[in-house]
Amino acid sequence: MVATFLIVVGCSQGTPPNPSATSPESVELTVSAAASLQDAMKAIAPLYTQEQAHVIITYNFGSSGSLQQQIEQGAPVDVFLSAAPKQMNALQEKDLLLTDTRKDLLKNSIVLVTPKDKTDISNFKGLTTDKVSKIAIGNPESVPAGQYGKEVLTSLNLYKPIQSKLVFAKDVRQVLSYVETGNVEAGLVYATDANVSDNVKIVATASETSHAPIIYPVAVLKESKNPDSAKEFVQFLSTEPAQAVFEEYGFSLASD
């Protein structure tokens, strides 16, 4: 099982509680989200808990495929944000989503990145040269960014010629790390991942026609112990404060 990162976000107002005051009962929400969302989602959590101080959010970040498997195996998850429809479709087919809570939330794009100081790769065709020995992409079987990356390379007739150079990562953030540390000469990541790193540069952006639309769906899980609070959190993700955060990190809205 691919390791994931757990982040708990709470809210404290800094004043002792008043026993005589009526306040909502504390609610804990577990949100499983694609690794590429972690920066934006960490920024959104305090905005939400400012409005809903009784809610404690626990984030579980990883590849969408691994998160899907965890949910199928009974992991206690309230909300799932996938980096592709494929994983959400699989859960829907198994009747694991709460009816009428699924929606398309965000869009993204695929870019080719290199270490910041590398100057001899300027486009996708440069991956075929002898100067490139290792190229990182997410595992196409479980990582949506890898699936899209494979589609891009296939559309450019590059996948087979460079297949022996490919290094498969457990999620898109591991791809980014491989490039940042110089362990590979190039990698395919989301534009949003490249935007949060000072150690890589974008040398090419994949055409939207070279891959399936990069859509991030969100839904509440049927087994959620707090379905009402989970639905409220999902609704918050479409409000102006949350949308501003997503756009700051380079996502575009699926409704655009």
Q: In what order do the strands lie in the sheet with 200-205?
A: 166-169, 135-138, 186-190, 110-115, 200-205
Give the three-state DSSP class for 146.
helix
Annotated binding site: 36, 64, 145, 172, 190
Give the side-chain half-sphere CA count within 13 A for 91. 34
User: Can you list the pairs that 228-234 forms with residues at least 24 positions away whose Cβ atoms lie under 8 Å?
Assistant: 229/27, 229/29, 229/52, 229/55, 229/78, 230/29, 230/78, 230/79, 230/98, 230/101, 231/98, 231/101, 232/52, 233/29, 233/31, 233/48, 233/55, 233/57, 233/78, 233/79, 234/79, 234/101, 234/103
The answer to whether the CB of 219 falls within 8 A of the CB of 94 is: no
The answer to whether the CB of 88 falls within 8 A of the CB of 217 is: yes
Annotated binding site for molybdate: 36, 64, 145, 172, 190
